[in-house]
Each structure stands twice: as C-alpha cells, then as structure tokens.
Structure 1
Amino acid sequence: MSPVFSHGDLRLYLLNLLDEGPRHGYDIMQALSDRTGGTYTPSAGTIYPRLAKLEEEGLVTKTVDGRKTVYSITEAGHAEVTSRAGDLEGIEAGLADSVRLIADEVRGSVREAMKSLRADLAAAGAEERTTATRPPADDPRVRSREQLHRADAAISEFRARLRADIRSHVARGGELAESFVDGLTDDLDRIARDVTRTLKG
C-alpha cells in the first residue's frame, strides 16, 4: 500500500531532495521513507538507476567520499526544480493524501480489531456464565448460535477486505467514480433485502 509515484514524479522528487543539499544513496532512500510516513521505502534497484539517468542528463553529479557516493544537483537540475515548482506541489499534496488515507485505514483496522476483541470477550464471558445451563449439543439453539458466529465472521471479513481494497485503490491514485459507489450501495441494499427475505422464510 505504498504511495506510487506517477510517471516522472519520482525523478522530479529526487531532484528536489538533492536541491536541498548533497546526499548519498541511502540518505535519499531514507528521506523518501521519512517523507511518506514509512509507507514508501524504495530499493537500491529503484533509486540508483534513476540517479544514473539524472547524471547522464547533466542534472546531477556524483563524487566519492570514502566508501560513499555523494550526489549533488547541478545548475541545470536546480533550474528544472525551480521551473516545475507547481508540479512539486502537486506531488507533495498527492503523497500527503496517500499517507492520510493509509493512516485512516490503519486506525480503522485497529478500531475494528478492538471492537471484535471486545465482542469476543463479551461472548466468552456470556458463554462461561451459561455453561451450567447449556442445552444439549444437538439443540437447534446451539447450532444456530454456532452458525451466527460463522455469519458474523464472514460479514466482518467481507467488510474489511472490501474497505481495504477501495482505500488502497484511492491511495494509489485510482479514481473512485460516483457511479461505482452508487452501484455498490445498490448491490449491498439488494443483498441485505435478500437476506432479510430469506430469514423471514
């Protein structure tokens, strides 16, 4: 669920980082991770080829400092960063939205987990209190309670999976059309009506 840079955005963002000052490769990867709240941690195989390409274009130079290779921006690189300030603002806003969506998803998952845990503890307490008067295992009420737990688990899993898929789609920059949400709402309403009708027999 990492924020995905659109085509060309990572290139410009690397230039922007180097415009702040010279950096070695690991420092660049760490800066990207820090500025995306740890949601995007690129590999060396992602960063170094792009730095090499920037060097070929004359936008970046590199010098060896001991065992580290330090990258610096050139005047041409600085000029590109300056001329594309508006694009950089858009990238920053997009990353902020992605981090916010992922943080919301994490908080939602934690809340759901806590809610489920409280429900499980409450159910366990109620079951313990009624152990002495529990009906036989073949009692229909016992079987119904078992199936109720299965139904609850299935509904919770469906909701969590669907919610995660939609949030991840938006976090990656995907479009969430109003028609899609309308169709989803209609489908869920139809399923709910079908379930109610089936239960009423």
Structure 2
Amino acid sequence: MTPVFSHGDLRLYLLNLLDEGPRHGYDIMQALSDRTGGTYTPSAGTVYPRLAKLEEEGLVTKSVDGRKTVYEITPAGHAEVTARAGDLEGIEASLTDSVRLIADEVRGSVREAMRSLRADLAAASREEQSSATPPPASDDPRVSSREQVHRADAAVSEFRAKIRSDLRSHVARGGELAAATIDDLTSELDRLSRDLIRTLRG
C-alpha cells in the first residue's frame, strides 16, 4: 500500500503538530488520523520512539500530567519548524496525494471483493438450479421457501464472518481503514438489498 509519510517526514510533521500546542501521545496519534482522513492511524510503537528521539535532540520536552505524558516543543524545535516551512508545505502536498492514492486502492479492493462476491453468488445460484430436481407436485411451496431462507441466512452469515475477519486482520497488521471504504461497502450492500427486493417483488 502507498506509504503516507516519506522517510523523515513524520519527524518534521510531529514537530509541526507540537508547534501548534502541547499534546499528549494519544492526541498526537488522533491528530495524525484526523488529518489523513482516517487512512493513517499510527501505532504507539511508531510515534513514541520518534518523540523520544526529538526529546533527545532537545526539540521537545515532556511532562507528566496525571496519567498522561504531555509533549511540548522547545524554542529549538520551533526554530526548526520555522526554518523548514517550505519542507512542510511539500509534506502537506505529498500527504494529500498519498491519502488520495490509499483511498483509491482500498476502494478498488472493496469493489473487487464485491464483484467477486456477486460472481460467487451467481455461480452458486446457477449450480443450484442445474442440479436441483423438481419437487413433487404435492410439495408445499412454503416448505421450499423456508429452505431457501435458511440457505440465504447461511450465505449472509458466511459473508459477514469473512468481511469481519478480513477487516480485523487488516487493521491488526497495521493497515489503515478509511471511512470511505466502509461507505463504499455500505453502498454496495444497500444496492444488493434493493436488487433483491426488486427481484422478490417481480
């Protein structure tokens, strides 16, 4: 997946966030997520070592406020942010491009997954129709309909379990999950629901 920050850019971006005012670690991670539209949510293992390095360089200080550790930029850190204003503009521009590319990649993956799901459902339907034997004339159609409802329940449950597993595995591996991705998924599911309703109503 397209990286959000190039090498060294995150360091300067953290300084820039602290130049806006003191922040605790979680607030910094949340700010990074907010400013990338949710496509980049760094882990504590990414942010805190960089903050410690900035502290070693004398660019930030930290203090304890209750249970929280608050980081604050030093005059030396502010001077670096000011001196590298041009670099920050470039980072902001690259960040916008990276976020757009990531969103496009994830939306493409969701669309491909939905196409695959529709193809699998269509193939299963064709296979069922070709292998099914006509029920005896005396069979109650309501019994057959209830059987199909059970099949539909099983298919929906399997799909739900697979999507949950894939999403959780993606996030657990450090992947980002944008709101636009879930919006696309919801839209596709709504569309499938509408198609099914139209089919049922004939």
TM-score if structure 1 supplies the norm length? Answer: 0.57
Structure 2 counterpart of 1:45: 45
Partner residue, 1:26: 26
Match in the other structure for 2:105: 105
Q: Match of 1:82?
A: 82
The match for 1:60 is 60
Residues 131 and 48 of structure 1: CA distance in aligned 2, closer, same or farther (over 3 Å): closer
CA contact (8 A) 2:3 2:98 kept: yes
C-alpha deviations, 1:4-38, integer Å up to 9, x for none?
Answer: 53332111011000011110112112222332333
Distance 1:53 1:125, change over 3 A: closer
TM-score norm. by structure 2 comes to 0.57
- How many positions carry a matched residue from both structures? 133
- Contact kept, 8 Å, 2:32 with 2:40, in 1: the verdict is yes
- Give unpaired runs (5+ residues) of structure 1: 134-201
SS at match of 1:130: helix
Change in CA separation of 1:2 and 1:36 when aligned onto 2, cut-off 3 Å? farther
CA distance in 1, matches of 2:115, 2:44: 40
Q: What is the percentage of aligned positions where both structures have the same residue?
A: 89
The residue aligned with 2:69 is 69
- The CA RMSD over aligned residues, in Å, is 2.3
Q: Match of 1:108, as an amino acid?
A: G
Q: Is the 8 A contact 1:3 1:40 kept in 2?
A: no
Q: Distance in 1 between matches of 2:132 and 2:23?
A: 69
